[in-house]
């Protein structure tokens, strides 16, 4: 018998005000045997009511639903069932919402243009307490910021190190980063060592969590 068969499925609620999209997302997610879609909700209020009465691990939530805002829903779920993890969904790279949503307690953000594998990775990472942001918007993260307990000034990180950070939080390996940036894997590892030392983190997961959980978002550069 396959040992994976005994693993519990990740229980997911899809919250989106368009029925067609809810249905399509359900079919997509249930093509993965590790997932179970346990609820479909059309607005924030029904999402909150559903999680009160059902066992849920992940809520995939459209950020522009009617009624209660995604920020309010995220905060309410955090108060009612803090173990439930929220992943925001949007058709566009709405970085001005990402900041507020992550500060409210969301652990991930995925654009609706994301591919199946990216969505699956987002769910699996967030379920395993690894924050996730779509690579298409990771370039909006990390620039100048100051937050409680952590301060990153422009001069502390080189432009090359910032590029490495953007690739790290996109989930790329050192080998992939090296190929993308046309440098050796050894050079990437050297950059990572310096980054971790400067930011006082131990590994890529810690770095990603620092960036995402502190809600550090910058305007897109033109």
For 118, the 3-state DSSP assignment is: helix
Contact predicate 84/77, CB 8 Å: yes
pLDDT of residue 101: 81
| pLDDT above 50: residue 165 | yes
Q: Between residues 205 and 38, which one has the greater pLDDT?
A: 38
Mean model confidence pLDDT for the chain: 81
pLDDT of residue 93: 60
| pLDDT above 80: residue 129 | yes
Q: Where are the alpha helices (DSSP H) in 106-158?
A: 116-127, 135-138
Contact predicate 140/217, CB 8 Å: yes
> Model-level pTM?
0.70
pLDDT of residue 147: 38
pLDDT of residue 155: 47
pLDDT of residue 56: 97
Contact predicate 164/175, CB 8 Å: no
pLDDT of residue 153: 44
pLDDT of residue 202: 87
Q: Between residues 215 and 128, which one has the greater pLDDT?
A: 128
pLDDT of residue 114: 83
**Confidence class of residue 145 from pLDDT cuts 50, 70 and 90?**
very low
**Confidence class of residue 58 from pLDDT cuts 50, 70 and 90?**
very high
From the centroid of its chain, how far is CA 96? 15
Q: How far is CA 29 from CA 116, 157, 204, in A?
A: 8, 39, 27
The terminus-to-terminus CA distance of the chain in angstroms comes to 54
Q: Between residues 146 and 15, which one has the greater pLDDT?
A: 15
Encode pLDDT of 72-108 as tens digits.
Answer: 999 999 999 999 999 998 876 666 677 778 778 888 8
pLDDT of residue 28: 92
Among residues 8, 111, 9, 136, the alpha carbon closest in space to that of 60 is found at: 111
**Tally of residues, the chain:** 222
Q: Is 99 exposed, middle or buried (0-12, 13-18, 19+ CB in 10 A)?
A: middle
pLDDT of residue 85: 95
Q: How far is residue 74's CA from residue 131's CA, in Å, rounded to a whole number?
A: 15
Helix H or strand E encompassing 216: none
The torsion defined by the Cα of 172, 173, 177 and 178, in degrees rounded to 10, comes to -170
For residue 30, the 8-state DSSP code is: T
183-204 mean pLDDT: 89
What domains lie within the chain, and their CATH numbers? 3-133 (3.40.50.2300), 145-213 (1.10.10.10)
């Amino acid at each position: 018998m396959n040992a994976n068969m005994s693993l519990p499925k990740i229980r997911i609620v899809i919250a989106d005000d368009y029925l067609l999209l809810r249905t399509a997302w359900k079919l997509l997610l249930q093509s993965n045997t590790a997932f179970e879609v346990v609820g479909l909700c059309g607005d924030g209020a029904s999402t909150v009511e559903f999680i009160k009465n059902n066992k849920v691990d992940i809520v995939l939530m459209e950020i522009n639903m009617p009624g209660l805002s995604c920020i309010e829903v995220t905060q309410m779920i955090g108060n009612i069932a803090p173990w439930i993890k929220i992943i925001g969904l949007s058709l566009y790279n709405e970085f001005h919402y990402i900041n507020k949503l992550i500060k409210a307690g969301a652990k991930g953000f995925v654009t609706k243009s994301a591919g199946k594998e990216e969505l699956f990775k987002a769910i699996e990472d967030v379920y395993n307490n690894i924050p996730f942001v779509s690579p298409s918007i990771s370039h909006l993260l990390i620039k100048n910021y100051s937050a409680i307990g952590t301060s990153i000034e422009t001069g502390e990180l080189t432009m090359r190190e910032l590029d490495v950070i953007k690739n790290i939080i996109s989930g790329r390996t050192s080998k992939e980063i090296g190929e993308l940036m046309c440098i050796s894997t050894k050079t990437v590892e050297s950059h990572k060592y310096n980054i971790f030392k400067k930011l006082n983190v131990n590994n890529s997961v810690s770095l990603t969590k620092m960036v995402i959980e502190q809600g550090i978002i910058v305007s897109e550069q033109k």
